[in-house]
Amino acid sequence: MANEKTLSIIKPNSTLDNNIGNIISIFEKNGLRISAARFAKLSKEKAEGFYIEHKERPFFGELVTFMTSGPVMIMVLEGDNAVAKNRELMGATNPANAAPGTIRKLYAKSVGENSVHGSDSVTSAEREIAYFFEKNDVVNRF
């Protein structure tokens, strides 16, 4: 299997609800290791830049408002097939459709306040990791 890195963000509803540890525990129990981490409150500009591909979507304003409403935990996760593994652990974007035991089923409130973000491909992961971290901030764990 391929060792990969992916970007994970624990969103403001989950930092507010004190679920950072519960979510990281799910990653660690399933073979993903943290290779870099930052706890931060995003500026409007930083959040807009991160979600630029959604700029024309009707929910873009709501998404940026939510992502800047409180602190986020931004992490690089590393492991075998980390991109797909992280998406499996997160569950469907809309928690109403998420499988039992997934992070979004356990902790998300709505499609907007859905607890976590995860890169959707290896290419996105590379862009998203570079958006938040310098090369030297990321430690190889394998």
Which residue among 112, 122, 124, 126 contacts ligand CMP (CB under 6 A)? 112
Which residue among 93, 109, 124, 141 contacts ligand CMP (CB under 6 A)? 93
Which residue among 27, 74, 117, 128 contacts ligand CMP (CB under 6 A)? 117
Residue number with CB closer to ligand CMP (35 or 114): 114
- For residue 102, what is the DSSP state? S
Q: Interface with ligand CMP includes 53 (CB under 6 A)?
A: no
* Active-site residue, 54 included: no
Nearest approach, Cβ of residue 71 and ligand CMP (Å): 16
> Euclidean distance between the first and final Cα of the chain, in Å?
13
Backbone φ and ψ of 118, nearest 5°: -145, 140
Nearest approach, Cβ of residue 62 and ligand CMP (Å): 5
What are the helix (H) ranges across 30-95? Answer: 44-50, 60-67, 82-90
The number of C-alpha atoms within 13 Å of 55 and in the hemisphere containing its C-beta is 7
> 40 in helix, strand or coil?
strand
Please report, as ranges, the residues that interact with ligand CMP according to CB under 6 A: 54, 59, 62-63, 93, 111-112, 114, 117
